[in-house]
Structure 1
Amino acid sequence: MAIDVLSYTCMGIGVFFWFWGTFPLLGKRSLLFKLHGLSVADTLGSMSIIIGLLLKRPRESPLLILAIISLAIWNTVLGYVLAYCSSSRGSNDG
């Protein structure tokens, strides 16, 4: 019973992070600032949902842990690629 409450709480927090990261897209900040906030919120939300699933389905833990590791690595690398491509060193113009 307590595991179910904790699991659903983690999933609810994850959905909250998803929406929380989406709202700043309507602001007047730079595109990279918006993408950074969105990617961080999306990563935290997705990891929180996966942790909730991990509590609910412990037999699937190897796959869920792999999903958490993949999310962390993929989103970090993607952030670095976006930052490099947007910098003056990353462009072929100069």
Structure 2
Amino acid sequence: MINALSYIFIGIGIFFWFWGTFPLVGHRSVLFKLHTLSVADTLGSMLIIVGLLLKIPSEWPLLVLGIITLAIWNTVLGYVLAYSSSTGGNDE
């Protein structure tokens, strides 16, 4: 049962990876595309790590550290991108 649940989480994570790449070919703004891609990649990567956590629970400290790192890194990267796009090249 746990093995099947692990594969389900990993499969949903891979689905999110592909789902996040489809808006890249649309006609929306670059920031919308980056936001969609980063959110989908973050969720997909976290779900894959949760699936691995169910599969190999002996490695839980490293996998939990990976989840925390993904959450912090992608949040900070989103704020940096938003700030750099909002300045618009004004040198003060």
User: Which residue of structure 1 lines up, in the alignment, with residue 78 of structure 2?
Assistant: 79
Matched, 1:39 2:38: yes
Q: Distance in 2 between matches of 1:33 and 1:93?
A: 25
AA aligned to 1:55 is L
Q: Deviations over 1:17-46 (max 9, x none)?
A: 000000010000000000000000000000
RMSD: 1.2
Long gaps (5+) in structure 1? none
Q: Distance in 1 between matches of 2:48 and 2:80?
A: 26
User: Which residue of structure 1 lines up, in the alignment, with residue 89 of structure 2?
Assistant: 91
Equivalent pairs: percent with the same residue?
A: 75
Cα drift, residue 55 of structure 1: 0.2
Long gaps (5+) in structure 2? none
TM-score normalised by L of structure 1: 0.94
Cα drift, residue 92 of structure 1: 3.8
The size of the alignment, in residue pairs, is 92
Which stretches of structure 1, 4 residues or longer, exceed 3 Å deviation after superposition?
90-94
Q: How does 1:52-63 map to 2 (within 5 A)?
A: 52-63=51-62
TM-score normalised by L of structure 2: 0.96
